[in-house]
């Protein structure tokens, strides 16, 4: 009776090992190159005999691929025929690579990752992108339309893409039908979203950008600052009075903006153009002087006075106190002025710290300013 040790050491057990190690059609194995012949490659796959990558395939491989083969190197092969008429195991390097590439394509689709490959040709309705041994198809509708601003995708334009690299996402993998569909637009959307989030995470109030105007509304302008849209509210467009955004900018214009605030929850950014301009209140003494006469427009009436906007480049607003509206006693400013009236006012107070201008109607013809008025007229 044989013991377990006797069975393990039986001299015929190697035949069992060989039986279970016999190659099967469609199997992918790891082998080692044992000989490079002029038109074929001999590979040890651990079977009873070496396998052969025959000349029908070997001669079709790229020269660079053939030159990369060295004796002793590992190589992955596909079993085409476990035993041909001459008793050889027929192997395929290309089919093994294809199987690995199908697995890679499936992995890209499952993990929603991008792939960068070379455009190797065009087809009716799209381009062909190489993924190893596979040929992926990118339909025209899935191309990055920034290459075709007029959306006119012609064969001539597609031909110019051959030889260039594109980054795509795998959208469909059908191994049985040999179908591999890719999308450049999906990759672009993801890349832009990643860039947007990176920018949202990194920017802070006070940062400045050169952006492009992409839309105008009644209340402001939307500016693209590198994948993120920010809003410049009408009140932040200029220190000067702006009625509508189109008064000073147009869609497509490049503008410099500063970040005012970031709302991460709403993914919103408030921008300002005027923060990058000189604040007129910081140079107010260079712009105006007390006693100066200037044209203005009444903007608002209150019980204590009237607000007037100076009719100059900066269009700052000042207050005409009720006591400065008339030499006569009045009960309400509307007895003297109304909104939209064009008037001449005299600047009687400048307070840059409070950002205030004091104006007067009744002192326009004041004798106290005759000499100053004459000097102003002479200078003009």
- Higher pLDDT: 124 or 284? It is 284
Based on the domain organization, do 236 and 288 belong to the same domain? no
Question: What's the confidence (pLDDT) of residue 1?
Answer: 45
Band the pLDDT of 15: cuts 50, 70, 90: very low
Residue 334, pLDDT > 60, answer yes
* Residues 73 and 158 occupy one common structural domain: no
Q: What is the mean pLDDT of residues 223-232?
A: 89
Q: Same domain for 209 and 244? A: yes
Q: 147 near 116, Cβ under 8 Å?
A: no
Confidence band of 131 (pLDDT split at 50, 70, 90)? very high
Could you tell me the pTM of the whole model? 0.52
User: Percent of the chain having pLDDT more than 70?
Assistant: 91
Angstrom CA distances, 110 to 96, 254, 333, 343, stand at: 21, 40, 74, 72
Are 248 and 213 within 8 A, CB to CB?
no
Question: Final residue of a domain: which of 97, 128, 158?
Answer: 97
Average pLDDT, the chain: 87
Same domain assignment for residues 212 and 184: no
Residue 324 domain-assigned (yes or no): yes
Residue 269: inside a domain:
yes
Residues 242 and 301 in one domain: no
136 in a structural domain: yes
Res. 233: pLDDT tops 90: yes
Query: How many domains does the chain divide into?
Result: 4
How far apart, in whole angstroms, are the C-alpha atoms of residue 194 and residue 277?
Answer: 32
d(CA 98, CA 30): 15
Classify residue 234 by burial, with Cβ atoms within 10 Å: 0-12, 13-18, 19+.
Answer: middle
Residue 15 lies in a domain: no
CATH number at residue 182: 2.40.50.140
- Would you say residue 187 has pLDDT above 70? yes
Residue 39 placed within a domain: yes
pLDDT at residue 139 greater than cutoff 80: yes
Let me know if residue 351 belongs to a domain: yes
Of 169, 190, 211, the residue that ends a domain is 190
pLDDT at 294 over 90: yes
Nearest one of 326, 315, 323, 319 to 288, comparing CA atoms: 315
Looking at the domain assignment, is residue 34 inside a domain?
yes
| 237 and 269 both lie in a single domain | yes
Give me the mean pLDDT over the 136-159 stretch: 88
- List pLDDT tens digits, range 170-181: 999 998 898 999
**213 and 185 fall within a common domain:** no
Residues 365 and 293 in one domain: yes
Mean per-residue pLDDT, 167-191: 92
Q: What is the DSSP string of 151-186?
A: ----HHHHHTTTT-EEEEEEEEEETTTTEEEEEHHH
**Cα(33)–Cα(104) distance, integer angstroms:** 24
**In this structure, are 290 and 323 located in the same domain?**
yes
* Residue 249: how many other CB atoms lie within 10 Å: 19
Q: What is the predicted pLDDT for the residue at 109?
A: 94
Compute the average pLDDT of residues 325-329: 93
In this structure, are 296 and 355 located in the same domain?
yes
Tell me phi and psi for residue 52, to 5 degrees: -125, 130
Q: What confidence score (pLDDT) does residue 284 get? A: 93
Domain span at 317: 282-379
Residue 151 falls inside a structural domain: yes
Which residue's structure tokens are 């991008």?
114
Average pLDDT over residues 9-33: 68
269 and 242 in one domain? yes
C-beta of residue 224 within 8 angstroms of C-beta of residue 215: no
> Which of 190, 218, 252 is a domain's end point?
190
pLDDT classification of 375: cutoffs 50, 70, 90: low
Model confidence pLDDT, tens digit, residues 39-95 = 899 999 886 668 899 998 888 888 888 888 999 999 989 898 988 888 889 999 988
Q: Is 302 in the same domain as 368?
A: yes
**Would strands 317-321 and 356-360 be described as parallel, antiparallel, or unpaired?**
parallel
Residue 210's pLDDT is 95
Inform me whether the pLDDT recorded for 2 exceeds 60.
no
């Amino acid at each position: 009776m044989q013991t377990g040790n006797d069975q393990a050491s039986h001299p015929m057990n190697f035949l069992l090992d060989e039986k279970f190690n016999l190659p099967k059609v469609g199997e992918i194995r790891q082998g080692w190159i044992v000989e490079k012949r002029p038109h074929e490659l001999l590979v040890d796959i651990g079977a009873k005999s070496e396998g052969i990558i025959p000349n029908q395939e070997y001669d079709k491989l790229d020269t660079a691929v053939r030159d990369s083969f060295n004796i002793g190197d590992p190589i992955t092969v596909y079993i085409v025929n476990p035993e041909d008429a001459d008793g050889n195991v027929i192997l395929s390097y290309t089919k093994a690579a294809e199987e690995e590439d199908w697995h890679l394509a499936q992995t890209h689709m499952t993990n929603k990752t991008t792939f960068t490959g070379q455009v190797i040709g065009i087809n009716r309705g799209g381009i062909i992108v190489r993924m190893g041994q596979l040929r992926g198809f990118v339909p025209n509708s899935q191309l990055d339309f920034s290459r075709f601003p007029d959306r006119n995708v012609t064969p001539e334009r597609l031909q110019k893409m051959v030889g260039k690299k594109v980054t795509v996402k795998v959208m469909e993998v059908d191994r049985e039908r040999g179908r591999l569909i890719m999308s450049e637009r999906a990759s672009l959307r993801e890349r832009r979203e990643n860039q947007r989030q990176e920018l949202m995470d990194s920017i802070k109030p006070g940062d400045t950008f050169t952006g492009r105007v992409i839309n105008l509304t009644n209340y402001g302008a939307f500016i693209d600052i590198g994948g993120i849209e920010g809003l410049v509210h009408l009140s932040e467009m200029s220190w000067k009075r702006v009625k509508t955004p189109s008064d000073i900018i147009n869609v497509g214009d490049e503008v410099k903006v500063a970040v005012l605030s970031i709302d991460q929850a709403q993914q919103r950014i408030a921008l300002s153009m005027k923060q990058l301009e000189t604040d007129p209140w910081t140079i107010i003494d260079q712009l105006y002087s007390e006693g100066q006469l200037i044209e203005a427009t009444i903007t608002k009436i209150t019980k204590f006075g009237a607000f007037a906007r100076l009719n100059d480049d900066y269009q700052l607003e000042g207050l005409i106190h009720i006591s400065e509206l008339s030499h006569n006693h009045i009960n309400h400013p509307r007895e003297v002025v109304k909104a939209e009236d064009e008037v001449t006012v005299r600047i009687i107070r400048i307070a840059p710290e409070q950002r205030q201008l004091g104006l007067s109607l009744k002192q326009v013809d004041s004798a106290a300013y005759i000499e100053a008025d004459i000097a102003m007229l002479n200078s003009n």
